[in-house]
Amino acid sequence: MNVIEVQHLSKQFSIAKRQAGMWGAFQSLFHREYIVKTAVEDVSFAIGAGEMVGYIGPNGAGKSTTIKMLTGILVPTAGDIRVNGIVPYQERQKNALQIGVVFGQRSQLWWDLPTIESFELLKQVYQISDSRYRINMQTFTEVLGLDEFFQTPVRQLSLGQRMRADIAAALLHDPKILFLDEPTIGLDVVAKEKMRTFIQEMNLERNVTVILTTHDMADIEKLCSRMILIDKGHVMYDGPLSTIKDMYGTYRVLIVDVGQDASFQIEEAELIREEGTRKWFRFDRNRIRASQLIQRISDQYEIHDLTIEEPDIDTIIRQIYQEGIENPQGVAHKQG
Ligand SMILES: Nc1ncnc2c1ncn2[C@@H]1O[C@H](COP(=O)(O)OP(=O)(O)OP(=O)(O)O)[C@@H](O)[C@H]1O
63 and 158 together in one domain: yes
Under a CB-based contact definition with an 8 Å cutoff, are residues 187 and 159 in contact? yes
Residue 81 lies in a domain: yes
The protein residue whose alpha carbon is closest to atom 17 in ligand 1 is 64
DSSP 8-state class, residue 155? G
Residue 126 lies in a domain: yes
148 and 53 together in one domain: yes
Q: With a 6 A CB cut-off, is 324 part of the ligand 1 pocket?
A: no
195 and 289 together in one domain: no
- ipTM score of the complex? 0.97
191 and 82 together in one domain: yes
CA 63 to ligand 1 center in whole angstroms: 8
Q: With a 6 A CB cut-off, is 64 part of the ligand 1 pocket?
A: yes
Under a CB-based contact definition with an 8 Å cutoff, are residues 81 and 128 in contact? no
Using most ligand atoms within 8 A of CB, pick from 41, 59, 65, 211 the residue to mutate for ligand 1: 65
Domain that holds residue 95: 2-245
193 and 278 together in one domain: no
Could you say which of 222, 245, 268 is where a domain stops? Answer: 245
CA distances to 76, 114, 197, 218 from 191, rounded to whole Å, are: 35, 22, 10, 13
Considering the entire predicted model, what is its pTM? 0.81
Residue 324 lies in a domain: no
Task: Kindly calculate the radius of gyration of the chain based on its CA atoms and give it in whole angstroms.
Answer: 25
Per-residue pLDDT for the chain (336 aa), expressed as one digit of tens each? Answer: 899 999 999 999 998 877 777 777 777 777 777 889 999 999 999 999 999 999 998 888 999 999 999 999 999 999 999 999 999 999 999 999 999 999 888 888 999 999 999 999 999 999 999 999 999 999 999 989 999 999 999 999 998 899 999 999 999 999 999 999 988 888 888 889 989 999 999 999 999 999 999 888 889 989 998 999 998 899 989 999 888 888 777 888 999 998 887 787 788 899 999 988 899 999 988 889 999 999 999 988 889 999 998 877 777 887 787 777 664 433 444 333
235 and 206 together in one domain: yes
Beta bridge partners of 177: 99, 209
71 and 130 together in one domain: yes
| CA neighbor of 318 nearest in space, from 270, 272, 251, 224 | 251
Q: With a 6 A CB cut-off, is 60 part of the ligand 1 pocket?
A: yes
Domains in the chain, number: 2
285: left (phi over 0), alpha (psi -120 to 50) or beta: alpha
197 and 61 together in one domain: yes
Using most ligand atoms within 8 A of CB, pick from 64, 185, 217 the residue to mutate for ligand 1: 64
Atom of ligand 1 nearest to the CA of 230: 21
Residue 330 lies in a domain: no
220 and 254 together in one domain: no
Could you say which of 225, 245, 265 is where a domain stops? Answer: 245
271 and 239 together in one domain: no
218 and 296 together in one domain: no
55 and 177 together in one domain: yes
Under a CB-based contact definition with an 8 Å cutoff, are residues 234 and 202 in contact? no
C-alpha–C-alpha distance, residues 192 and 53, integer Å: 18
Under a CB-based contact definition with an 8 Å cutoff, are residues 159 and 190 in contact? no
Could you say which of 198, 228, 245 is where a domain stops? Answer: 245
